[in-house]
Amino acid sequence: MTCRRLDGRSALITGAASGVGRATALRFAAEGATPVALFDRNAENLAKVAAEVTEAGAAAIEIAGDVTDDQQCQAAVARVVTEAGGLDILVSNAPAHSAAPFLEMTVEEWDRVIQVNLRASFVLGQAAARAMVAGGRPGVILYTASVSSMGASKEYAHYGASKAGIVNLAQTMAIELVGHGIRVNAVSPGPLDTPQSLAVLGSQEALDRARESWPLVPMNRLGKPEEIAAAFAYLASPDAAYITGFNLVVDGGLTAHAYSIPEELTAR
């Protein structure tokens, strides 16, 4: 049985129509958060997740919008404050992802990923923090970062830079907002079983193979969105009351692994 650590707390989750966002919305609802506001540009999927959140026992607020629009981000926060009487938890999770070699990457590709991942994190985080301070209530701001914030991957200069920026943003916000009772943390997932991974791998067949085995990860599998949602639920809860400015890595041991000697190089 899920603990109800978030009873009566209002939450806003971006990228909520699928993957980690959906799983986090359902986990928050199961833990007693209400209302749970869902912000995503995919209105059709958003409605489905809202129905699931309602079925889980929480009030759902559907906000169809784009995190690259500053005014829509600020309006989403304002709507939660108006309808819920205040905002307690923000999970800034909406992702942008693409691949391009550094020498061939266009400014447009760079700008899009930075805008969705990093700029929106700033705009949403600032709007949420201002609302919390104005309401005189403590709160929690959480970000989806990535193991890409901790090291490089070929063809992902924009993505890695955006995620590293998110981690530093969370740390800076944490030390500046601590006097207002606002905690700020990030979660860095490793490879996950999400629609984003399907887009990266290129086919359902490739994703199915990855589900069976992912050798670079010591646990030899993709992570589940629900496992990231559990990390967010912990960081949002009173159980994490003394944690701020932290980047919680949830990656099946990926970043703990330095190297292994290839079997073909070992004597038998």
Query: Domain of 77: which CATH number?
Result: 3.40.50.720
- Cα–Cα distance list, 85 to 20, 65, 89, 135 (Å): 26, 21, 13, 9
Please tell me the pTM assigned to this model: 0.94
DSSP element (H, E) containing 157: helix 157-177
Mean pLDDT of 105-130: 98
For residue 56, what are its two tokens? 């889980």
* pLDDT higher than 60, residue 169: yes
Q: Kindly state the average pLDDT of the residues 233-238.
A: 98
Active site residue 143: no
pLDDT band of 226, cuts 50, 70, 90: very high
How far apart (Å, rounded) are the C-alpha atoms in residues 160 and 74? 26
Is residue 199 pLDDT above 80, yes or no? no
**Bridge-based pairing state of the strands 247-250 and 182-189:** parallel
Q: Given this model, what pLDDT does residue 68 score?
A: 97
Q: Which of 143, 156, 159, 234 is catalytic?
A: 159
Residue 179 lies in a domain: yes
Two structure tokens written together for 31: 């833990």
Would residue 156 count as lying in a domain? yes
Q: Is the pLDDT of residue 205 over 70?
A: yes
Provide the domain count of the chain. Answer: 1
Asked if pLDDT for residue 39 goes beyond 80, the answer is yes
Q: What's residue 97's pLDDT?
A: 87
* Residues paired with residue 141 on neighbouring β-strands, in sequence order: 90, 184
Asked if the structure places residue 199 within a domain, the reply is: no
Q: Quick check: is 128 in a domain?
A: yes
**What domain range is 79 assigned to?**
11-190+225-249
Residue 3 lies in a domain: no
Q: Quick check: is 242 in a domain? A: yes
Task: Give a yes or no: residue 16 inside a domain.
Answer: yes
